[in-house]
Structure 1
Amino acid sequence: MVAPVHVVGVRHHSPACARLVRETIAAHRPAHVLVEGPADFSGRIGELLLGHTPPVAIFSYVRDDRRTRLSWAPFCDYSPEWIALTEGHAAGAEVRFIDLPGWRTADTENVYADAEHRYADASERLCRAFAVDNVDVLWDHLVEAHPHDGLAQRLTTYFDLVRGEADAGPEDTAREEYMARWVAAAAARDDGPVVAVVGGFHRPALLARLAAATETTTEWPAVPAVPAGTETGSYLVPYSNRRLDAFTGYASGMPSPGYYQRLWESGPKAAATGLVADVVTRLRKRRQTVSTADLISARALGAGLAALRGHPHPARTDVLDGLVSALVSDALEQPLPWTARGPLTAGTHPVVVEMVAALTGDRAGRLHPATPAPPLVAAVGAELTALDLDGDRDVRLDLTEAGDLRRSRFLHRLRVLGLPGVERRSGPSTGRDATAAERWRLTPSDHREAALIEAAARGGTLPDAAAATLAGLAGGRDEVGALAALLYDAALCGLADLAGDLTTRVAAGVRSARELGPLGAALRVALGLWRHDRLLGTAGSALLGTVVTTATRRALWLAEGVRGGDTPAEPARLRALAAVRDAVRDSGAVLDLDKETAVGVGGRLFANQDVPPDMRGAGLGLCWALGEPVAAGDAVPRSPAVLGDWLAGLFAVAREEVLDDGGLTSVLDGLVSALSAHDFLVALPALRQAFEFFPPAERERFATALVARRGGAGSGRALLRARVDPVLVAGGAAIEEAIDEMLTRAGLADL
């Protein structure tokens, strides 16, 4: 004898399917309720029943020496799996998860992501047959709009159809074989009915395997062993409607969780009314005008569309289409989001954005206080209190103080982990920054607990988790500038061991770098950390010194190969030559960097007309900044098409020398003053970019020198506060000059 088996195929996060599961359990009073979910969590189902506020999720990770993989199995109030767990337990059934462990499926970010891509052809034909846009609208039309009308049979027909044409891969086959063994074992025990709740895609295959089974056993299938050298773990985490929503990127079975929460709690009529109210409330809070007439029109249009589409009450898209018709009078640049799946696209109408937000809702889950959590959560909470960093506050730190340096490192580790509510407002950005002050903004967040639990997958302590996070980021990047930025993050976090490993990777990247801009970024970071950064413990590092030496020589080699004629200035490569200047001028003697070599490269850049003008100017600047006498005024190009770009290169590398040389200021004043209005308009954009290399105080100093040259007295600050856009002024002057030329040619200039 075997007990009767009732396999309920569901779409994850469907209110209608959740009701069907509840009704099935109530009707059959099963001895066993088996749920698609990670079998290794079966012994901990009691944790799910503590009394949480959904949405919550089972978070699983697997970590080995190559990578860390993560997965989530989320539950909300109306998830069929959640109803199976809670209603099954309340009915006295033995409740178990029967799917492969989360770590076995951790290549799939979300365990409960539906398999629609595997039956896309069948879904597309159904969408065409019912004249709907996508599978979500189809589901609403076939299921959620008619939840009580022969639902079980309609679901069976639907899932049989889509599974009949789908190609199940090896992973699906393995999962279905494993789940079938659990169901067969429960039935063989013959101690009461068995209800199995699985994704509808798997139901036909599961029934076929059960029908074909020839051997039965009452032994539960073994949970697969964790491979040697692999660490796994699972914890409950708070989840949120935003993370559940397809409109924010989650590949779930159902979008718009806020709407479906209302549908679950109050039914379709109240859900439609509530959705309209939510949209109107959001729009009015943002000072969007929504009149009573607009509201009446939206409701009437939604009701009319529902009647036209055969829905007893307005469904989700009926309400949304009615709202758009009533509230949006502009032409829409993008298709309506609910006509497709996935995140919102750029250009979505602001009213439509608010409608989607109302659909999502702001619900955030909460775990019961007794829920087990990894040690990292309590450790971080205790450290926040001990360092006086908890609560809602602004924090100012002085990195020269030992206590503040400790607080800074702690906050940087949280920042690297992406902990919500931890924002660095200001502080040193390279080891060469003069400031030792930092400003942080700390705010409480409902998402912090989840972030910490998930961060524990990367390490058991905060330093380990931050180090693993940075190492993971470095593993996915080859660009040397990005690696150098991570190196500086490691220094800010006080992670000396990881900084050594990253420095080795940066050194390797420097040796093979092919672009001057990223190489320069790496050189700036490495030089700052090597030369100046005693606060962070990296000053004088032999490995960093090797990076600086190698990067400087590589940058000079790359710079000498730059060609391109009169191409526009590229600030990244100019900053690279400025970093070369600093390395050779300030540290050359210690790091065996030859000044004559750098001056030689600068001179050849300056003299070669095939080199872009910004690099020619930078070449001259490099010679000047390294003490090679130059007559800079004689070298300034007269062409307005290249003047600004050439100056950008010169200013980037020899800004201080330019300010100290009054002769060059006079040459530039005379040259720019002699430009015609048209030529000045041509030169102006590049000139403005060139002077951006001067900080405000130095720009004022330059302006003051110009005032003095013209016979004036006092500061030139007023010249820096133009009330009219200079491009507009230059354009007007060019028009006036053109008119004067026309009048002269016509003999009318003297009239």
Structure 2
Amino acid sequence: MTTPLRGGPLLLGVRHHGPGSARAVRAALDAASPRVVLIEGPPEGDALVSLAADPQMRPPVALLAHAVDDPGRAAFWPLAEFSPEWVALRWALTHDAPVRFIDLSATHSLAFKDDSEEGDGDGNEAGPDGAPGPGDRERALRIDPLAVLAEAAGYDDAERWWEDVVEHRGGTDGDDPFAPFAAVGEAMGALREEYGDGGHRRDLVREAYMRLQLRAARKEFGDDQVAVVCGAWHVPALGAGSTATADRALLKGLPKVKSEMTWVPWTHHRLARHSGYGAGIDSPGWYGHLFGAPDRPVTRWMTKVAGLLREEDRPVSSAHVIEGVRLAETLATMRGRPLAGLTETTDAIRAVMCDGSDVPLALIRDRLIVGDVLGEVPDSAPAVPLQRDLTRLQRSLRLKPEALEREVDLDLRKETDAGRSRLLHRLRLLAIGWGEPAAGRGSTGTFRETWRLRWEPELYVRVAEAGVWGTTVLSAATAKAESQAVSATALSEVTALAEQCLLAELTDALPVVMKALADRAALDADVGHLAQALPALARSLRYGDVRSTDTAALGEVAAGLAERICVGLPPACAALDADGAAEMRAHLDGVHTAIGLLPATPDSPAGDLSGRWAAVLRKLAARDTVPGVIRGRATRLLLDDGRLPEDEAARLMGLALSPGAPPADAAAWIEGFVGGTSGGGMLLVHDERLLALVDTWLTGVPAGSFTDVLPLLRRTFSAYEPGVRRTLGELVRRGPAGGGARPDRAEAGIPGFGAAVDETRADAVLPVLRLLLGDPDPDPDPDPDHDHRIDHDNDLAGVAR
């Protein structure tokens, strides 16, 4: 057969993931019809070659190798539809030609300490033309062959030069399909002669191994019956005159690890250079389009872009497509390019379809230029038992892995959604980050969950790592939870783990976790740690309710923690600095919310928790030794719960804002009372006495002290909604009436204000509210002397949380 190297094997130097190289490889193989095809890749992949012909196999895919004893030590060899290696692999299978991978085996490459997860050791870390890409310090000093060749040709952009000389040439040079490879091999030989071969031992070892495999194939099939597809940088090394003895000497004593290999789906996003992949390309989606378009690639690309923009409700017509194609071709002519490339088409799209804006271009880049394609592998591909169980669960729950990020809303009252929730929580415990909880838009009830899902190829490595805990998702999550419970040292770690176990319904792990929780809680005397742990326990009790889980033991621990907090919190709040006071205020909010969720039964160790907690808040609100931010917050929490009359709240505010109080302490009290996002602004809007107190204090702050309290006040009031700030400004601008009191806002005709609260009208809302929330009907003849507003407020607050 005719070859670029007379009397030798057919050496096809390629650019990894280059559609022009892929077309050229296919043309060369069709012309040469070799008896065997050798491909740069790990020899362990030979046993998996036949799967590439399976109808279920859809690129992009990757060979994944991992160390058996250390699954986190893994490497990928990605292949896209437009990768020359994939084209060669498919050609060989179609023509019944043997395929062999000839790069250094994964057994050795995984053992090199300088291997990266996607490095040259994984076979495809090479740069744009197959040269070693960046990885360690030595690689960083090497040249980029494409950049050198582009500069020699007068180009300042290596990507643009490669498109002009390869991608836009159709992959052939006249009638000779081997001419491009002869030219590439000659260029790489000149570069290696000028700049050297890099000298990195791993690369020298790889090339020695490839030469040995090439010699064996030549001996078996004949010199002119062997085709080699490898990175262009390696072509001169494979044709060099090194001896077999010298090559074997380089391979002597290489480190080894026991490894396993399989096919896994890959994504266009992970092929992109910005993802950190060493052999990455800037535009996988664009290259896939160039490889798949039978003709008029620019016109077809513009049509794709127009379709995407229409889906996003942008007004794009066929006239835009025609004008965009004309502009791209004109730009290519003006720039001296044979055809319009990605740069010209993008410039034309920006001008014609995006009105000069880069905002729609970001969408086009993400969805088309890079792309969100996720490959598929057949079910018969080897996999660890945990991966097979996960795949089974994904199918039974109809939760398909996708490369594009999406949100999923779950209703835990439905069996399928509850199963999805269990699976996602178990995977999170196993550090398999397929999904992350997100804030739901429709409901804040415990029976609702919202997840943000995105499947990345690296998760297959995480699954392999988690396989040490068990062969199923349930058994692995249970074993890991039990191990974490035993090894955890902080109380907050165990409470968070208990919450995870309840969310994931790991009933077998709960006894171990609960024992560890009780032990840690008994030994921890830090009130801050206890306060930090209680909210998670309270949330866990509610999760147990919605998931029908027995949480009696958890309730006892939570009640015990609450009582210890009630005893230890007042002395812990004395003599705190500003940072300590701010931290304790956050604990105060968390404990208050948690105690509102805990069941208050007379037989519990803590007795009436809500009553005991209210007494603690009264102590904090009245003690002068407690920082102002905590005193103000305690006062506000009592007022919100209806346990503090409005007159008493006004009295406490008056004391805190008295002329004798230091301005900084008074500002801190205000921050605690009306700060944050808990409706403090609306409280001032509707309670003119409190607003007047704040207004009077603020106007009386001495000029010398005003600059000290301004940052605190600004932080407090800037958290309010714009409408609330505007209303407060209008009220303050009107000022008090002549007698010092503010005018009645109802009489003044200010919208939204009445003379007083109309309790009859307010109570009329409750039946509709119960219907919406699914609450049972209350006693039809309630006690008229009982203030039901507190009960309703607590119920609604619990549901909202």
Is the aligned partner of 1:634 residue 2:651? yes
CA separation in 1, counterparts of 2:313 and 2:212?
A: 58
Partner of 1:413: 426
Identity percentage of aligned residues:
23
Partner of 1:695: none
CA separation in 1, counterparts of 2:189 and 2:537?
A: 61
Q: Secondary structure at the match of 1:122?
A: coil
> What is the deviation of 1:54?
2.3
Partner of 2:160: 137
Q: Secondary structure at the match of 1:312?
A: coil
Is the aligned partner of 1:235 residue 2:239? no
> What is the deviation of 1:96?
1.2
> What is the deviation of 1:155?
2.6
Partner of 1:462: 473
Change in Cα spacing, 1:560 to 1:251, as seen in structure 2 (3 Å) is: farther
For the aligned residues, what is the CA RMSD? 6.2
Is the aligned partner of 1:9 residue 2:13? yes
Given that 1:532 and 1:539 are in contact with CA atoms closer than 8 Å, whether structure 2 keeps it comes out as: no
Partner of 1:525: 536
CA separation in 2, counterparts of 1:153 and 1:542?
A: 76
Letter in 2 for 1:148: T
Partner of 1:199: 231
Change in Cα spacing, 1:318 to 1:70, as seen in structure 2 (3 Å) is: same
CA separation in 1, counterparts of 2:154 and 2:625?
A: 65
Change in Cα spacing, 1:133 to 1:711, as seen in structure 2 (3 Å) is: same
CA separation in 2, counterparts of 1:299 and 1:83?
A: 30
Given that 1:41 and 1:234 are in contact with CA atoms closer than 8 Å, whether structure 2 keeps it comes out as: yes
Given that 1:37 and 1:73 are in contact with CA atoms closer than 8 Å, whether structure 2 keeps it comes out as: yes
Aligned mate of 2:360, from 344, 350, 359: 350
Is the aligned partner of 1:672 residue 2:694? no
Change in Cα spacing, 1:390 to 1:713, as seen in structure 2 (3 Å) is: same
Given that 1:428 and 1:438 are in contact with CA atoms closer than 8 Å, whether structure 2 keeps it comes out as: yes
CA separation in 2, counterparts of 1:19 and 1:386?
A: 40
Given that 2:632 and 2:669 are in contact with CA atoms closer than 8 Å, whether structure 1 keeps it comes out as: no
Aligned mate of 1:114, from 113, 126, 143: 126
Letter in 2 for 1:198: C
**TM-score, length of structure 1 as denominator length:** 0.67
CA separation in 2, counterparts of 1:607 and 1:493?
A: 44
Q: Which runs of 5+ in 2 are unaligned?
A: 1-5, 128-132, 174-178, 402-406, 658-662, 700-709, 723-744, 747-751, 766-801
> What is the deviation of 1:13?
0.8
Q: Secondary structure at the match of 1:351?
A: helix
Change in Cα spacing, 1:423 to 1:69, as seen in structure 2 (3 Å) is: farther
Q: Secondary structure at the match of 1:145?
A: helix
CA separation in 2, counterparts of 1:407 and 1:74?
A: 30
Partner of 2:63: 58
Change in Cα spacing, 1:709 to 1:64, as seen in structure 2 (3 Å) is: farther
| Partner deviation per Cα, 1:519-542 (whole Å, 9 max, x = no partner) | 855431145547984744554269
| Partner deviation per Cα, 1:27-66 (whole Å, 9 max, x = no partner) | 444343221222222122212232433222223333547x
Q: Secondary structure at the match of 2:17?
A: coil
Aligned mate of 1:326, from 324, 346, 352: 352
Given that 2:286 and 2:370 are in contact with CA atoms closer than 8 Å, whether structure 1 keeps it comes out as: yes
Partner of 1:253: 280
Change in Cα spacing, 1:565 to 1:522, as seen in structure 2 (3 Å) is: closer
Given that 2:503 and 2:543 are in contact with CA atoms closer than 8 Å, whether structure 1 keeps it comes out as: no
Given that 2:538 and 2:595 are in contact with CA atoms closer than 8 Å, whether structure 1 keeps it comes out as: no
Given that 1:303 and 1:314 are in contact with CA atoms closer than 8 Å, whether structure 2 keeps it comes out as: yes
Partner of 1:338: none
Q: Secondary structure at the match of 1:234?
A: strand
Letter in 1 for 2:159: D
Aligned mate of 2:499, from 488, 511, 514: 488
CA separation in 1, counterparts of 2:518 and 2:197?
A: 47
> What is the deviation of 1:514?
11
Change in Cα spacing, 1:473 to 1:455, as seen in structure 2 (3 Å) is: farther
Partner of 1:180: 211
Q: Secondary structure at the match of 1:96?
A: strand
Q: Which runs of 5+ in 1 are unaligned?
A: 333-347, 430-434, 656-663, 693-702, 720-751
Partner of 2:404: none
Q: Secondary structure at the match of 2:578?
A: coil
CA separation in 2, counterparts of 1:216 and 1:418?
A: 43
Aligned mate of 1:48, from 42, 52, 55: 52
| Partner deviation per Cα, 1:489-536 (whole Å, 9 max, x = no partner) | 3332133566657996999899999996x9855431145547984744
Aligned mate of 1:563, from 558, 564, 577: 577
Given that 1:35 and 1:198 are in contact with CA atoms closer than 8 Å, whether structure 2 keeps it comes out as: yes
Q: Secondary structure at the match of 1:211?
A: coil
- In the comparison of the two structures, how many residue pairs are matched? 662
CA separation in 1, counterparts of 2:218 and 2:560?
A: 67
Q: Secondary structure at the match of 1:284?
A: helix
Q: Secondary structure at the match of 2:553?
A: coil
Partner of 2:375: 365
Is the aligned partner of 1:94 residue 2:105? no
Letter in 2 for 1:326: V
Deviates more, 1:68-77 or 1:366-375: 366-375
> What is the deviation of 1:451?
6.8
**TM-score, length of structure 2 as denominator length:** 0.63
